[in-house]
Amino acid sequence: MKKISLIAILSFVCFSTNAQTKDSISMKRIFNETLLNGNAYQWLYDLTENIGPRLAGSKEAGTAVEWAKQKMIEAGADSVYLEPVMVPHWVRGPKENAYIIEAGGNKQTVQVIALGNSVATPKDGITANIIEVQTFDELEKFGRAMVEGKIVFFNHPFDERFVNTFEAYGEAVQYRWKGPSEAARYGAVGSIVRSMTNAIDDYPHTGSMRYNDSLPKIPCIAISTVGANLLSKIYKANKDVKFFMQTNCEMKDSVLSYNVIGEIRGTEKPKEYVVVGGHLDSWDNCKGAHDDGAGIVQSIQIIKTLKALNMQPKRTIRIIAFMNEENGLRGGRTYADNVGTKNEKHVAAIESDAGGFLPLGFGLNMPKDKKAKIKKWAPLFLNYGIYNFSGEGDGADISALEKHNIPLIGLHVNSQRYFDYHHAASDTIDKVNKRELLLGSAAMGSLAFLLAEYGLN
């Protein structure tokens, strides 16, 4: 028995070494091809500069759908098709207008932007006194007596001590998401939120908010951090400060749009899928280079890379450009619903939606045994600086797949610069480094290929 065991162990070691060597060569090919001949950066230039902002429901989002389909065909996908999705159609209307009115009457214009899904102010705007709070606790302490008839200013800065800026965002974003309704609970007539960013600059950052249907819907805006600091300074010097805000946004009827899907068909198990994607829509005020044009072009690049290398995987790799992540998640939800209806078998889903920055790891949202299988590949990834498999974050578009118990994976990248540009007009192609973008594609392509070769069972 002992002898047999030893032989069994030795064969296993040899097999596993050979597999690792073979996988290591596959990854080297993917990285080399991507870095040498990758088109992702040029595609991103085209998407962001020639199509530009592409909020779900807009004409430009429709153009982007056609664009993504065309790029997947050019990249060599075995099949490309559209998946219909009904999406909300929120429109900003003419640019917002806002200023501070100091106690003496002096007016100071500040840079603001309506939050996504917000209702508009009355046509001529709102003028009201300000009350500044940093937390919901403070708001509650002030209560209706102090808040009624005022505009609540949520001035909650990012906590710079978080090394991962997504943690600072996670802590602060509640004031954007549910701040307006919490302010309305105490009779506020409007809500201002400090932009969700580490940067101190004059770009206002928009983003989604959700009304609590049991409370009045009040108009809400984000103010640039420069504007927030100014408003706070004036307010602290003399609390009798008024604010004027005028927004023109409107929620229209839902419209038909699409997820764009391109496949590399599996040679052995074509009915088992590995999903890789990002979201095609962006906010209407920004070109969405990092959020999430990057994820889209990185994903499409995987088709081009594997086809150029003639590396047809055993299972099907399905590249998805999701629609409507920003203000509804309808693309991701519709895809998940259809997976359920069609009872499709998914090995895993990977998303890149944290910017096209240097890849550092993968967040794994799945049971321990499956995590362990992925972590066995960690030494292969370490050669490319991808060291961190300890996180759990995945991606908003793929999150609805959790209900089918599909293992979810998020590309984890350098987070330091992301919120400087997130949902702001500064999210442009010049903030993207070509090699960082390509490395992210190669990292996801490698993991997708390994998952498609071996599965996770």
Site residues for its own copies per CB under 8 A: 31-32, 35-36, 160-161, 163, 165, 198, 358, 360, 383-385, 387-388, 414, 416-417, 420, 433-436, 439
Shortest spacing between CB 418 and its own copies, in angstroms = 10
* Dihedral Cα 281, 285, 291, 293, nearest 10 deg: 60
Inter-residue contact 287 to 50 (CB < 8 Å): no
Shortest spacing between CB 359 and its own copies, in angstroms = 10
Give 376 or 434: the residue with its C-beta nearer to its own copies: 434
E strand spans, 17-96: 79-91
Q: Which tokens in the block code for residue 450?
A: 């390994």
3-state helix, strand, coil in the chain (%, to 5): 40, 25, 35
Shortest spacing between CB 396 and its own copies, in angstroms = 23
Shortest CA distance to 130 belongs to which of 139, 119, 118, 141?
139
Sheet containing 250-264: give its strands across: 79-91, 250-264, 315-322, 269-279, 345-351, 408-413, 359-365
Give 196 or 349: the residue with its C-beta nearer to its own copies: 196
Shortest CA distance to 268 belongs to which of 58, 453, 75, 78?
453
Shortest spacing between CB 168 and its own copies, in angstroms = 10
Residue type (1 letter), 59: K
Quick one: how many helices (H) and strands (E) in the chain? 14, 15
Cα distance between residue 171 and residue 177, in whole Å: 11
- Beta-carbon neighbour count of residue 433 at 10 Å? 14
Shortest spacing between CB 354 and its own copies, in angstroms = 14
Give 248 or 388: the residue with its C-beta nearer to its own copies: 388
Give 174 or 433: the residue with its C-beta nearer to its own copies: 433
Partners of residue 192 on adjacent β-strands: 153, 221
Shortest spacing between CB 385 and its own copies, in angstroms = 6
Shortest CA distance to 449 belongs to which of 105, 27, 19?
27
Shortest spacing between CB 416 and its own copies, in angstroms = 5
Give 23 or 102: the residue with its C-beta nearer to its own copies: 23
Give 12 or 387: the residue with its C-beta nearer to its own copies: 387
Give 241 or 444: the residue with its C-beta nearer to its own copies: 444
Cα distance between residue 187 and residue 143, in whole Å: 9
Give 120 or 378: the residue with its C-beta nearer to its own copies: 378
Shortest spacing between CB 414 and its own copies, in angstroms = 5
